[in-house]
Amino acid sequence: MRVIDGHAYLGKTVYMDRSPERLLQDMDRLGVDASVVVAPPPGPFYQDANKYVSAAARSHPGRLAALYRANPLYKGEEERVGEALRGGGFAGVQLDPTSDGYGVNGQAARQIVAVAERHGAPVYVHSGDSIFCPPEYVADLASSFEGVNFVTDRSARAPRAAQACGNLFLMTYSFPATAFQRGHTEGFDLDRLIFASESPIGSLDVEMKAAEVAGLDDATREKILGGNLLSILKL
């Protein structure tokens, strides 16, 4: 079984400082085979951070896959996203409407998603149970782009919002270990759950331990800890 961390941060900001070497050390220590990496917040400028993430992924093929952190408000971002997905070393796109101040269903964000659609790339959207970018808005966007696979945060309202969207995947962070332990997983589509640590803002150690104690059967464990992600992203 291939274990993949579906969303981790790489680089340096006021929130964190992590090099590729440190990330790989943590992965090796915990038995993680690969990670999907992205530049951390805050923005609004990500050009240098994206270059750092891309260089790391190119240096460690098969172990790191990069997401291009896009800010649709900047002129020329569509072209930059296209270049990133075409030959820039990126496997997908990350949108963060709340941090960067735009509507996830607005025209600017939709233009970026359209570029991802042309390249067959998944789109990650930072979401949550708030008025800024709730899961219902992400589900609406996913319904408008059925040819794009979307990945967003698991939250209290996310399972219901995603229920009718076969192209909307939810990250496990923070891993719902007790829901599995108690058999309360009816609200989760196990084919659309992706293991993610959000480390080092989150904790890879904690998320791996939660997955271990959740009592997953082998088939479910294989899906959530890597198989589901590999169905939508080349790594």
Region for 169 from its dihedrals, namely left if φ exceeds 0, alpha if ψ lies in -120 to 50, beta otherwise? beta
Token couple for 134: 């709730």
CATH number at residue 9: 3.20.20.140
pLDDT in tens, the chain (235 residues): 999 999 999 999 988 999 999 999 999 999 999 999 999 999 889 999 999 999 999 999 999 999 999 999 999 999 999 999 999 899 999 999 999 999 999 999 999 999 999 999 999 999 988 888 999 999 999 999 999 999 999 998 999 999 999 999 999 999 999 988 888 777 678 999 999 999 999 999 999 999 999 999 999 999 999 999 999 998 8
CA 48 to the chain's CA centroid = 20
Instruction: Tell me whether strands 64-69 and 34-38 are parallel, antiparallel or unpaired.
Output: parallel
Q: Which of 174, 205, 149, 197 is nearest to 10 (CA)?
A: 197
- Examine residue 171 and state whether it is found in any structural domain, yes or no: yes
CA gap 67, 106 in Å, rounded: 21
In a domain, residue 62? The reply is yes
The CA-atom distances, in angstroms, between 43 and each of 49, 51, 112, 197, 212 are 10, 14, 17, 21, 34
pLDDT of residue 182: 86
Which structural domain, as residue segments, surrounds residue 202?
4-230
Query: What's the domain count of the chain?
Result: 1
Query: Is residue 155 included in any domain, yes or no?
Result: yes
Is residue 235, in this structure, part of any structural domain at all?
no
Q: What gap in Å lies between CA 72 and CA 180, rounded to an integer?
A: 38
The verdict on residue 19 lying in a domain is yes
Q: What is the pLDDT of residue 43?
A: 84
pTM assigned to the model: 0.96
Query: What pLDDT is attached to residue 184?
Result: 79
Q: Does 170 fall in a domain?
A: yes
pLDDT on residue 197: 98
For 90-124, give the DSSP string. Answer: EEEEEE-HHHHT--TTSHHHHHHHHHHHHHT--EE
pLDDT at 131: 84
Residues 76 and 196: their CA atoms lie apart, in Å, by: 31
Three-state DSSP class for residue 18: strand
